[in-house]
Amino acid sequence: MADVASLSTSAQALRRHATGPSGPKPRHVLSRRNIFLYGTLIVVALYYLLPLYVMIVTSLKGMPEIRLGNIFSPPMEITFEPWVKAWASACTGLNCDGLSRGFWNSVRITVPSVLLSIAIASVNGYALANWRFKGADTFFIILIVGAFIPYQVMIYPIVIILREIGIYGTLTGLVIVHSIFGMPILTLLFRNYFTSMPEELFRAARVDGAGFWGIYLRIMLPMSLPIFVVAIILQVTGIWNDFLFGVVYTRPDTYPMTVQLNNIVNSVQGVKEYNVNMAATILTGLVPLIVYFISGKLFVRGIAAGAVKG
């Protein structure tokens, strides 16, 4: 209210001579606009949050309570048993050590894939944006076309290639596959970001004597934190959530978490343990969720920085 007071000096002068509207236009909390706006927001938010609510509630119930069929009612007796079982002792095929095995597999897939793909793609993007080498445009077009080829077309050829070089079914193979498939979109992302940086900065660094790696490491890298955060989020969530490559390129003992989740949820023997399934699903989705929560602000800033000139 302080700045309203300071602004109103001229308004006071006017008020002495005229009556009628003056000062800020009054806003009603229950105006038609507000009802529509917040009404829509609340409905949409509920629509998205309801399934999550059902999952959390179900995962905290025992099986007898679930059989009553009241999926929206809160648990009468809270139990963490399903969570423990999902993590440590749910059975998938031969193993009965729960999701923990898949979790660590996924970590061992995601971390190197993210680091490798971002390291290569950022240098790619930097070279394409700043060092207009001969054939750069052709190279870029080929890379972008690569982003539009359906994965299904390439699955079998890659199986053969991995088998021939002897890393089919290993985590190394999957890491390489993830890094390659992340390349087009990440390179595009980095190229656009580096293109948006003032060209004169790059020229100044060249006059100062910095070379290809010098400019990349000492000038460009420190300026591109936002776009690295975007790339990390894209890759972590993308690779963590991947199912297709995981199921095709690994063996049961190296299955990532998503594939294992599927095996737990879709196992046909015995009673369907809905509470364990819900807990397992939430556990699997927790990593991307945490990444979003931690980096939400940086993510938005990075997307904006990549889109418009920074």
Distance in Å, CB of 209 to another protein, minimum: 3
Does the footprint of another protein cover residue 20 (CB under 8 A)?
no
Start-to-end C-alpha separation, the chain: 33
Amino acid at 68: L
Does the footprint of another protein cover residue 207 (CB under 8 A)?
yes
Reduced to 3 states, what is the DSSP secondary structure of residue 95?
strand
State the sign of the Cα–Cα–Cα–Cα dihedral 161, 181, 212, 111. negative
Query: Among 51-59, 95-103, 168-176, 197-205, which window interacts with another protein (CB under 8 A)?
Result: 197-205
Non-local (6+) Cβ contacts of 139 within 8 A are 128
Distance in Å, CB of 144 to another protein, minimum: 23
Distance in Å, CB of 135 to another protein, minimum: 15
Which tokens belong to 258? 């998503």
DSSP class of residue 24 equals S
Distance in Å, CB of 234 to another protein, minimum: 24
Does the footprint of another protein cover residue 135 (CB under 8 A)?
no
Of the candidate residues 39, 198, 213, 217, the single one contacting another protein (CB under 8 A):
198
DSSP class of residue 132 equals -
- CB-nearer residue toward another protein: 91 or 210: 210
- CB-nearer residue toward another protein: 15 or 218: 218
Binding to another protein (CB under 8 A) within 211-270 occurs at 214, 218-219, 222-223
Reduced to 3 states, what is the DSSP secondary structure of residue 250?
strand
Does the footprint of another protein cover residue 210 (CB under 8 A)?
yes
Reduced to 3 states, what is the DSSP secondary structure of residue 92?
strand
Which tokens belong to 64? 């007898």
Of the candidate residues 9, 69, 200, 268, the single one contacting another protein (CB under 8 A):
200
* Burial grade of 79 (CB within 10 A; 0-12, 13-18, 19 or more): middle
Residues that bind another protein (CB under 8 A): 198, 200-201, 203-210, 214, 218-219, 222-223
